[in-house]
Structure 1
Amino acid sequence: MAAQGGNWDDLAVRLGSAVAMVIGGGVAIFAGGLWFMVLSAIVAGLMVWELCRMLFPMSGPFAVQMAILSAFAVMVALVLPGFYTAPILIAPSLVAVSRVSARRVVLFAYMTGVLFAGFGLAYFRDTLGIVWLLWLVAVVVGTDILGYFAGRLMGGPKFWPRISPKKTWSGTVAGWIAAAIIGLVFGLTSGAGAGLAVLSVALSFASQMGDIAESAIKRRCQVKDSSRLIPGHGGVLDRFDGLLGAVLLMLVLQFIYLPVIGG
């Protein structure tokens, strides 16, 4: 999520956590196969755990149970034939909403999105290759980093103050610029073409909307962070909400167009 406006007191902690995530995630991405499948499933499960805790803070075991069920569903969906994918990924959300009496629409929609994104991340790594996934991650991370620093340094008008009070237009546009540059570099060096820059900007916007969606839930639940699992970054949702939005867009675009990068 792109942070905007404020002091730099948390920068060292954020950088330390970021380095650890880059190393751990990078190893899993390069390893691929079962390693990345497990990582994707665990991340999806942690996101669901945080989501349930935010929406139902007194739910106790409910959040843990839904997290385990969600991680298991992602793993199963990745190893069974494709026609089972949607039912398996939707099933945990149906179980979850059957056990609560409020906030059902938000829980079902966001939880289902998390599960499909967790599946999509590992699916794309397996079918489209490592260079393709590195491009996707680079666009999301580049959007976040340049948006963070541009927002802090430049400030200015807010992008959507009612939902995300710290997000500025300067940080938002800077994220688009970062994505375009990254897309151009990948496009020219991989043979995908300069047009990849346009798709990268669309992904950048999708990642920002992922951030906005999570911010809306946090404001509704009156919490600052989804959890405290990642020092300096808050929770897993706080860190990967943008990637969630980007992967969901690519899952939709696969029925229209997917670029061939490095393949």
Structure 2
Amino acid sequence: MSANEKWSDLTARLGSAAAMVLIGAWGIWMGGHVFHILVAIICGLMVWELVGMLRPGTAQAQTLLGTATGLAMFASIYLPVGFALPLLLAPALAGFGYLERNRTIYMCFTVLILMSGFGMTQVRNEMGVSWMLWLVIVVIATDVVGYFAGRMIGGPKFWPAVSPKKTWSGTASGWVGAAIVGYFFALYSDVSMQLIGVSVAVSMASQMGDIAESAMKRKTGVKDSSNLIPGHGGLMDRFDGMLGATVFLLIVGQFIGFPPGLG
């Protein structure tokens, strides 16, 4: 691969990334209804993409299931957890009537998308702007540092059968990037340096989300989840890391106590 080919998508990626960062930062800063609506729209569009990959050419099913997911996500935020949980699972079951194949994949990814969206709203609502930013920056650092390191360093592939472009150098560099983020957040807050290890674990979980989506795309024979974002493909291609990271934090945070203890 020539140097030009290696970096051919960089301009489009940077422009789209800047737009996503601005919109995301605005939503996180505003919080409340603005952030809730943004998360609901993202979740609905990801399920719209998911249905399109699993059953191409079914625009009606895409629209219905995507809309149902967005509405379920938004409504669940304002309900007690006991009532929110069945609402979060309902779109996953609803898809069984529209899909003839890949129902298990649809169910698993839809639950993952909705639980991730719910987790993000919980982090923003209960922990505030700073910890929501920490989560997003850890995922972005994992992706960006891994992207550039993988292309500059190269080396052995991480899992070529599933993700042909991903290298061990990029994967490990993503962990380093997340550790640096965790270090600076711990340094300038009242939490312990254990946040470094938590950040690396969240980074790994985000990479697992990325790998899971890559495996699903490989199975369905598609390159990108959609063409919504120039240079990036679809929303699932950009938010797959957030899916893994947020669900991991939502579950593990209940056991380890998050944020980690005072330094």
TM-score, with length taken from structure 1: 0.95
**2:159 is the alignment partner of 1:160:** yes
Q: For residue 6 of structure 2, give the secondary structure of its aligned residue in structure 1.
A: coil
Cα deviation for residue 59 of structure 1 reads 1.8
- Give the whole-Å Cα distance in 1 for the aligned partners of 2:259 and 2:148: 31
Q: Where do 5+ consecutive residues of structure 2 fail to align?
A: none
Cα deviation for residue 146 of structure 1 reads 0.4
Match of 1:189 in 2: 188
The residue correspondences of 1:1-263 to structure 2 (distance < 5 A) are 7-260=6-259
Q: For residue 255 of structure 1, give the secondary structure of its aligned residue in structure 2.
A: helix
- Tell me how many residue pairs correspond in the alignment: 258
Q: For residue 17 of structure 1, give the secondary structure of its aligned residue in structure 2.
A: helix
8 Å CA contact retained: 1:138, 1:182: yes
TM-score, with length taken from structure 2: 0.95
Cα deviation for residue 254 of structure 1 reads 2.8
Alignment-mate amino acid for residue 217 of structure 2: K
Cα deviation for residue 255 of structure 1 reads 1.9
Q: Where do 5+ consecutive residues of structure 1 fail to align?
A: 1-5
8 Å CA contact retained: 2:162, 2:215: yes
Q: For residue 93 of structure 1, give the secondary structure of its aligned residue in structure 2.
A: helix
Match of 1:3 in 2: none
Alignment-mate amino acid for residue 98 of structure 1: G
CA RMSD after TM alignment: 1.4
8 Å CA contact retained: 1:192, 1:259: no
Alignment-mate amino acid for residue 108 of structure 1: M
Rate the CA distance shift 1:258–1:19 in 2: closer, same or farther, 3 A.
farther
Structure scoring higher RCO (CA < 8 A, sep ≥ 6) equals 1
Alignment-mate amino acid for residue 252 of structure 1: I
Alignment-mate amino acid for residue 258 of structure 2: P
Cα deviation for residue 193 of structure 1 reads 1.5
Q: For residue 256 of structure 2, give the secondary structure of its aligned residue in structure 1.
A: coil
Q: For residue 254 of structure 1, give the secondary structure of its aligned residue in structure 2.
A: helix
